Structure 1
Amino acid sequence: MSKTNNKGQERVVTGIPGVDDILGGGYLPESATLVRGEPGSGKSIFSLHFLAAGLDTDETGLYINLGEPEDYIRDTARHFGFAIDAIEFLNLSASGDQFQGEETYTLFESGEVETPSLVESIRAEIQEINPDRVVVDPVTEFRYLAPDEHQFRSQILGLINFLKSEGATVLLTSQAAASMPDDDLQFLVDAVINVKAEADRRTIHVSKFRGSSVRSGHHTLRITDDGMRVWPRLDPNRHEREHNSTKLSSGVPALDSLLSGGLTTGTITFLSGPTGVGKTTTGLQFMKEAAGRGQRSVLYSFEEDHNTLFERAEAVNIPVTEMIDRGTLNVEVIGPEELTVDEFTHHIRSEVEDKDAEIVMIDGTSGFEQSLRGVDEDPMRDLVKVGRYLRNMGVTGLVTNEVHNITGEFRATDQGMSYLADSIVVLRHVEYKGSLRKVIGVLKMRTSQYENQLRELEITEHGLRVGDSLPELRGILTGTPTWDDDGD
């Protein structure tokens, strides 16, 4: 099916969810695209998607198979639910009819040599059925039929030009391997798509696309019972909407006072402190108050399961179950290596763009780094992209960041993340007269003034309680707190 993208360019859809987005709408009409990958990377499935998509709009398709026999390809199509009965096959595989006789075939035109020509067979088939879409799988098999590299390139270029001149959009597959380089083929086509099966994930990468810009990077690809699906990498620059900044109240007056009225919407706030100090609970408090106004929030937990999270929240008067039932909260627990970073950001986009989530909380920067597959060598790059996306969409982001020292000298972030945060709320254990207490304060707010004092924090069965400021308590952030008046 041809369609027009947002720049007015006509495109031919790929049939694979996510790939059209990467290509700016799909393939260019009457172009030739090389799909490269090692055996088992999914090239044939990629091709079947392309032909099946054409059938949906009454386009004709031709599958020229030189590798696997036709029966195998049709069985593969049925396995993934592709209805390709109307697809024509030109079976040039070793088991095909073309090779059942005593004749020896060559790539050359029949006028050049005495043996029959595969090019001639292809030309006759094209002229007979006039296909809109053509797959040649794999084109690298032709290399074995040519006497030298020059003749191979010449004949393949002639074949590509002929198919395009007949009005076909062409997909060619290549067995990409170090022992069989295909650099010459990459020069002959209009676009090159690389599919790769790695130990922990599959990816797709567009290394060439004449006539248009594409989305760069290695994007997550999965093969499921329904075929292929691709999750493009998040590009924050592609997403933006108008929004007016307001204050987001916590519902705890003393906490709002610390923040000069609350958090600023559309900003990123880090809740930073050691384990057990109340970072997640503090974030949920903002979500609880937002739920009372009918606003939707989503929490992505990398470190706690549903039961633990729900029990802790309900125990401090945060009714997460009720909030979920009313549609004002969604909690997703992300297990180790369950998702790639591309799939995770797709979840966020779905919540923001389809379900109007106004608060997004990422509970655990360490879990983000360790649980998601495909995170950049510098995990901050992916987290920064998420933060920029949320800002552009006017969504308030909350990020819990665990620092490893429970007491002693305080560091707001262990991973140099402070430049991502518009605001940093610090939570801290302090020892006083043989007991541990909690304190809370604001270390940074880019968008407004804030109270530069620390307050005592208590987490009770009735919820959060933030007490008065503690001017008599000094040295909390240095690790040696002292009380000017002995705490009386």
Structure 2
Amino acid sequence: MSVESAREPTGIDGLDAILGGGLLTGQNALVRGPPGVGKTVFGLHFLAACGDDETSLYINLGEPTSYVERTAEQFDLDSPSLRFLELAPTAEAFAADETYSVFAAAEVDGPSLVSEIRDAVAEHEPDRVVIDPITEFRYLTTDERQFRSQILGLLDFLRDAGATVLMASQSAPDEPDTDLRFMTDVIIDLDRRRDTLTVDVPKFRGPSPTRGPHTYEITAAGVDVWPRLRPDVAESDFPDERVSSGVPELDKLLCGGLERGTVTFFSGPTGAGKTTTSMQFVKEAAGRGTHSVIFSFEESERTMLRRSKALNIGLGEMIERGNVEIVEVRPGEYTADQVTSMLRSAVEEEDAGVVLLDGFQGFQQNLRGFDDHRGPVDYLVSIGRYLRERGVTTLVTNEVHDITGEFRVTEESTSNLADNIVFLRYLEYGGSMNKVVGVLKMRTSDFEDTLRRIEFTEYGVTVGEPLTGLTGILTGTPRFDDRGDSS
């Protein structure tokens, strides 16, 4: 393998996925961001990812080495190959008459920072080097030109020594690092947006990284990065087939069922049966051996299991057989990128053929990481496109607030995202409240343009014959049509 194509994993799987496998061997990368975003932990991950026959060197110009060692132990990143060089600047280092350039160390009387770096590199022959923070070198120079010369000389020296380098930079309005960004091969930007940590790679000398920003989290196990879902994957080759509901009358409405690789919205007011109807497709798919995943944004897994048992759907048994998985998404628990990473894992690693996103309103409200440039609808577009290309049948439940009155499919103007729309509606008839189901559109096939009564009992989902003798059903106040009788 050539040096140009060799990769050095960063030790953070999600970041490696963004970079296309890691840094190129011999590159230097600038990890920049405000205090508290985890620059040191990123660096320790990078050093701990050394191979068995490699050595790493942490050049510390900021915090005491004992602090960095405790941090490494805390995150289980204290690799036996890790070496430290503490060079925290002293008050004397700021004196104007003791400044020096990287390759002029021999001309300086007494010990020098540069000679210590050169000695440490000669002694340990590190394959990976972290300099934290690189911005401390500013205090060893008299002007920007000398600072630039020192950094370029240091990077050339480390590259000639065969090291891949990661440098930390404290970015702040009063401490700009624009010059460093021009000098480095890779820029990794860390930031905090409201209650979410983000990472982006705006510069990479080599193959283009995955565009961000992406979200990440620092836990007791270290850094977890969740790459943003980009649906620009090659379309999978999958057969033209339909996913049945297992309810013959409902399948008749859909002219045989839902086509594989489509997105279907189940729309209606609260309690109309959106989740139960969509779960009927999950049940039938599981019975045919298709793995399904339910992302529940509004109900707990316990509630969903109890309800499915009462309606003879039996999700619990499907979960025990390994055909169904429920992911409960509590408010504020996950970022949108984290959920899409779990979704991608379910599809690519577990071969999920059906995905149910239960509660689009909960999807909008419960997840973190949305911003002014990329909101919930944008994420749903990416999810839908990705799942279509993978041949996954996607089900989305969406609530409208009006129980009766003016007919409305969605509250958020998202109906254009759906290939199919199945709506459920309340109607008052004969002094009692009834429910009807109908199909508003199917993008890839024909469908039945009538409405049918739908019921949910302990025996399951029951759908009746077409209601051909009533008009005004969509208003919630039907009346007999003089041209026919109700069915």
Q: TM-score range by the shorter chain?
A: over 0.9
> 2:83 is matched with which residue?
88
| Residue 204 (structure 2) aligned to one of 198, 206, 209 | 209
Runs of 4+ in structure 1 over 6 Å off = none
Quote how far apart the aligned CAs of 1:484 are.
Answer: 1.4
Corresponding residue number in structure 2 for 1:406: 403
**Over residues 76-135 of structure 1, what are the superposed CA-to-partner deviations in whole Å (9 max), with x where a residue is unaligned?**
11111123343222210147xx989x9985343346665754223322322333221111
Residue 237 of structure 1 aligns to a residue whose secondary structure is: coil
CA distance in 1, matches of 2:82, 2:304: 52
Query: Which stretch has the larger CA shift, 360-369 or 301-310?
Result: 301-310
Matched residues in 2 for 1:472 and 1:198: separation?
57
Q: Is the partner of 1:419 in helix, strand or coil?
A: helix
TM-score with structure 1 setting the length: 0.93
Structure 1 residue 336, shift from structure 2 partner: 0.2
Where does residue 370 of structure 1 map in the other structure?
Answer: 365
Which position in structure 2 is the counterpart of 1:17?
13
Give the aligned residue type for 2:114. V
Among candidates 181, 187, 191, match of residue 196 of structure 1: 191
* One-letter identity of the residue aligned with 2:326: V
Q: Which residue type is aligned with residue 240 of structure 2? A: S
Within 1, Cα distance between the matches of 2:96 and 2:81?
30
Equivalent residue of 1:436, what SS?
strand
Aligned to 1:303, the other structure's residue is in SS state: coil
Partner of 1:434: 431
Letter in 2 for 1:222: E
Q: Which moved further from structure 2: 275-284 or 146-155?
A: 146-155
2:45 aligned with 1:52, yes or no? no
CA distance in 2, matches of 1:340, 1:4: 38
Matches within 5 A, 1:175-186: 175-186=170-181
User: 1:122-180 CA deviation, whole Å, 9 max, x = no partner?
Assistant: 22322333221111110101111211111111111111111112211111110111110
Contact 2:429 2:477 in 1 (8 A): no
Classify 1:133/1:186 alpha carbon distance in 2 versus 1 (closer, same or farther; 3 Å).
same
The separation in 2 between residues aligned to 1:58 and 1:195, in whole angstroms, is 31
Structure 2 equivalent of residue 142 of structure 1? 137
Deviations 1:174-229 (A, max 9, x none): 01111101011000100100112344121111111112200111112111222112
Which whole-Å CA distance do the structure 2 matches of 1:372 and 1:311 have between them? Answer: 25
SS of match in other structure, 2:169? strand
Q: Aligned equivalents of 1:139 and 1:104: distance in 2?
A: 21
**What corresponds to 1:382 in structure 2?**
379
> Using the alignment, how far apart are the partners of 2:92 and 2:61 within structure 1?
11
Q: Which residue of 1 aligns with 2:347?
A: 352
Q: Separation in 2 of the partners of 1:380 and 1:199?
A: 20
Question: 1:243 maps to which residue?
Answer: 238
Q: Distance in 1 between matches of 2:108 and 2:429?
A: 96
Instruction: Quote the Cα distance in structure 2 between the aligned partners of 1:32 and 1:41.
Output: 20
Distance 1:239 1:373 in 2: 29
- Structure 2: distance between partners of 1:183 and 1:18: 26
Amino acid in the other structure paired with 1:37? G
CA contact (8 A) 2:426 2:476 kept: no
CA distance in 2, matches of 1:85, 1:354: 33
State the distance in 2 between where 1:99 and 1:294 align.
72
Q: Count residues with an aligned counterpart.
A: 480
Aligned match of 2:318: 323
Residues 15/258 of structure 1: CA separation in 2 closer, same or farther (3 Å cut) = same
| SS at structure 1 position matched to 2:49 | helix
Alignment partner, residue 301 of structure 1: 296
Q: Alpha-carbon deviations, 1:256-308, whole Å to 9, x = none?
A: 10000111111110001110000001011111112221222111111112232
CA contact (8 A) 2:7 2:23 kept: yes
Going from structure 1 to structure 2, the CA distance change for 1:86 and 1:316 (only over 3 Å counts) comes to: closer
Aligned to 2:474, the other structure's residue is in SS state coil
Structure 1 residue 479: Cα displacement: 5.0
1:318 deviates by 0.8
Q: CA deviation at 1:463?
A: 1.1
The answer to whether the Cα contact below 8 Å between 1:472 and 1:484 also exists between their aligned partners in 2 is: yes
Report 1:450-469 matches (<5 A).
450-469=447-466
Measured against aligned partners, the alpha-carbon deviations of 1:20-78 in whole angstroms (never above 9, x if no partner) come to 11001110111111000112211111111111111x33112111110011111111111
Aligned-residue Cα RMSD (Å) equals 2.3
Cα distance in 2 for residues equivalent to 1:311 and 1:239: 39
Structure 2 CA distance for aligned equivalents of residues 4 and 297 of structure 1? 43
DSSP-derived class of the 2:447 partner? coil
Partner of 2:353, secondary structure, is strand
- What is the DSSP-based 3-state SS (H/G/I as helix, E as strand, rest coil) of the residue aligned with 1:266? coil
Confirm or deny that 1:477 pairs with 2:471: no
1:279 to 2:265 alignment: no
Equivalent-residue separation in structure 1 for 2:340 and 2:486 (angstroms) = 48
State the distance in 2 between where 1:394 and 1:187 align. 43
Aligned twin of 1:106: 99
Partner SS for 1:195: strand
Segment of structure 1 superposing worse, 266-275 or 75-84: 75-84
Q: CA deviation at 1:476?
A: 2.4
| Partner of residue 221, structure 2 | 226
Letter in 1 for 2:29: T
Q: Residues 118-157 of structure 1 correspond to what in structure 2 (within 5 A)?
A: 118-157=113-152
Partner residue of 1:75? 70
Q: Distance in 1 between matches of 2:112 and 2:242?
A: 74
Alignment pair present for 1:421 and 2:418: yes
SS of corresponding position for 1:335:
coil
Residue 239 of structure 1 and its aligned partner are, at CA, apart by 5.8
Q: Is the 8 A contact 1:272 1:400 kept in 2?
A: yes
| Paired residues of 2:132 and 2:168 also in contact (CA < 8 A) | yes
Q: Secondary structure at the match of 1:238?
A: coil
Q: Distance in 1 between matches of 2:148 and 2:134?
A: 11
Please tell me whether the aligned partners of residues 4 and 25 of structure 1 are also in contact (alpha carbons under 8 angstroms): no
Counterparts of 1:166-181 in structure 2, within 5 Å, are: 166-181=161-176
Return the alpha-carbon distance in structure 2 between the equivalents of residues 195 and 172 of structure 1. 13
What secondary structure sits across from 1:128 in the alignment? helix
Gaps of 5+ in 1: none
Distance 1:308 1:111, change over 3 A: closer
Tell me the TM-score normalized by structure 2: 0.93
Q: 1:116 to 1:105 in 2, by over 3 A?
A: farther
- Give the superposition deviation at 1:4: 8.7
Distance 2:369 2:231 in 1: 18
Once the two structures are aligned, what percentage of the paired residues are identical? 54
How far apart in 2 are the matches of 1:49 and 1:355?
28
Question: Is the 2:266–2:421 Cα contact (8 Å) retained in structure 1?
Answer: yes
Which sits farther off after the overlay, 351-360 or 249-258? 351-360
Q: Could you tell me whether the CA contact under 8 Å between 2:428 and 2:476 is conserved in 1?
A: no
Report the Cα distance in structure 2 between the residues aligned to 1:107 and 1:445, rounded to whole angstroms.
73
